[in-house]
Amino acid sequence: MTPVLSKTPALAVGKANILVVDDEPSLAELAGDVIGRQIPCRLVAVQNIQQARQVIENEPIDLLVVDVNLPDGDGTTLLETLRARHPQAGAIVITGAPSVDRAVTALRQGAVDFVAKPFSASQLMDHVRSALARQAKQVRETQRLDRLRDAVKRLNSARKVVSKKVDLLCNDLIRAYTELSRQMDVVRTQEGFRKFISEAKDLEQLLCHAMDWMLRQLGYSNIAIWLAAEDTEFQLGAYMKFTIAGDQELAYAIQRGLLPLVVREGFIHLMPEEAQERLTEAELDYLADQAIMGANCTYLGEPLAAMILFRDADKPFTDEDAKALQSISAIFSVALASIVRGTQQYEGEGNPFSDGDTLDEENGRKSDGEWWKRGEDPPF
């Protein structure tokens, strides 16, 4: 028979497995007559330790009744084997020469009861009932603990899942709040710029207000605003000096290098290392050690203007500066188109500027838009 270790003893379903080990046939007969008739059980009787070990190794056992003196040794040696194979099983030790030391030893080895010979059938029955009741209680306690362990395991697993979901939810909320905050910052920036330029009555005031706002929000910088002209060309509409004068050579270099780059890419944010790779030699004569930002301002898909800012690299533009410039470019385009349409007739449908001049409504004349070519101060 193949050894089987039963996790759920038969007693748990109402029928006990009892092993009786004694070389006296009378004990086996007594057990069969008394125990077998009064208790639902499967009773196995053997006469020596070797036979008992085979049963213990291969069959479920709920209660072992063993005599101390057996033909092949001390019956209490079976207690260790029983405890190893059937931890929940009980054991009753029978002896004809009782002593305190022997009883203590048997109990320490796993016995739940100690019976001295001679004994009556009713005494044996009482000991068996008591041992089975104790064993059944232990089984119930073990099963209850197993259920509790399973419940705790499931709770821990559920807690980990819930904790993970809470962490994910918190991360989603943090990202959502961060994105909302970022969007609100963009809205505040746009509304602040829109309000700041809303009082501009003509192009010169619009350019002046826009540069003033950029100086306040982004810090002191050299600012060049280029306006679209005929044949997709751009002319310098306004220049604000901070550290570098807007002479003709610089304007020409930017017009041939940096300006097309801004229009083509929509937005640039360069530090000197990257500027060394992307700017022309003529531009680097002025901008080699500069931090640069540029934004293309489009309206209905057409570029109307380009804003270019640069300053010393030891005070670089931040990512927040870049976001601010990007956020106002579209608003500047709309304001620019609105003013141009209201103050000037223009030839082409795509470009609202036919030349570099702007109309001064109050004086009824055109303002010269090429003051920078003559090295003059800006007219605003």
120 and 213 share one domain: no
Q: Report if residue 14 sits inside a domain.
A: yes
213 and 308 share one domain: yes
255 and 355 share one domain: yes
pLDDT at 362: 42
Among 146, 162, 178, give the residue marking a domain's end. 146
The total number of residues written for the chain in this structure: 380
**Parent domain of 286:** 198-374
pLDDT at residue 61 tops 80: yes
In this predicted model, what pLDDT tens digit does every residue of 321-350 receive, in sequence order? Answer: 999 999 999 999 999 988 877 644 333 333
Better-predicted residue by pLDDT, 368 or 153: 153
Q: Report if residue 219 sits inside a domain.
A: yes
Could you tell me the pLDDT band of residue 231, with boundaries at 50, 70 and 90?
A: low
350 and 213 share one domain: yes
257 and 360 share one domain: yes
141 and 216 share one domain: no
225 and 370 share one domain: yes
pLDDT at 358: 39
pLDDT at 332: 94
Better-predicted residue by pLDDT, 182 or 78: 78
Residue 2 pairs in a beta bridge with none
Structure tokens at 303: 């570029």
Distance separating alpha carbons of residues 371 and 380, to the nearest angstrom: 11
Alpha helices, H only, the chain: 25-30, 36-38, 49-58, 78-85, 100-108, 121-197, 203-218, 248-256, 258-265, 272-278, 281-287, 319-343
63 and 204 share one domain: no
Could you tell me the pLDDT band of residue 108, with boundaries at 50, 70 and 90?
A: low
Q: Report if residue 213 sits inside a domain.
A: yes
Distance separating alpha carbons of residues 40 and 54, to the nearest angstrom: 23
Q: With H, G, I as helix, E, B as strand and everything else as coil, classify residue 7.
A: coil
The DSSP line for 54-109 is HHHHHS--SEEEEESEETTEEGGGHHHHHHHH-TT-EEEEEESS--HHHHHHHHHT
Q: Report if residue 330 sits inside a domain.
A: yes
Residues 6+ apart with CB under 8 A from 29: none
Q: Is 106 within 8 Å of 79 (Cβ atoms)?
A: yes
pLDDT at 172: 85
Average pLDDT rounded to a whole number, residues 305-328:
94
206 and 140 share one domain: no
Domains in the chain, number: 2
* Residue 236, CA atoms < 13 Å, CB-side half-sphere: 25
CATH number for the domain that contains residue 225:
3.30.450.40
203 and 315 share one domain: yes
CATH number for the domain that contains residue 44:
3.40.50.2300
260 and 136 share one domain: no
Task: Tell me which of 20-24, 118-122, 221-225 is least confident.
Answer: 118-122
Residue where the block lists tokens 């009824």: 364
Structure tokens at 53: 């070990």
In this predicted model, what pLDDT tens digit does every residue of 25-48 receive, in sequence order? Answer: 877 777 777 787 788 888 888 989
Percent of the chain scoring above 90 in pLDDT: 32
pLDDT at 290: 94
Q: Report if residue 189 sits inside a domain.
A: no
Distance separating alpha carbons of residues 23 and 71, to the nearest angstrom: 7
118 and 202 share one domain: no
Q: What strands, in cross-sheet order, belong to the sheet with 113-116?
A: 41-46, 16-21, 63-67, 90-95, 113-116
Structure tokens at 63: 């209660």
Task: Tell me which of 227-236, 289-298, 317-326 is least confident.
Answer: 227-236
Q: Report if residue 49 sits inside a domain.
A: yes
pLDDT at residue 365 tops 50: no
pLDDT at residue 94 tops 70: yes
Q: Report if residue 179 sits inside a domain.
A: no
Structure tokens at 353: 């500027």
Amino acid at 204: E
Q: Report if residue 137 sits inside a domain.
A: yes
Average pLDDT rounded to a whole number, residues 256-261:
92
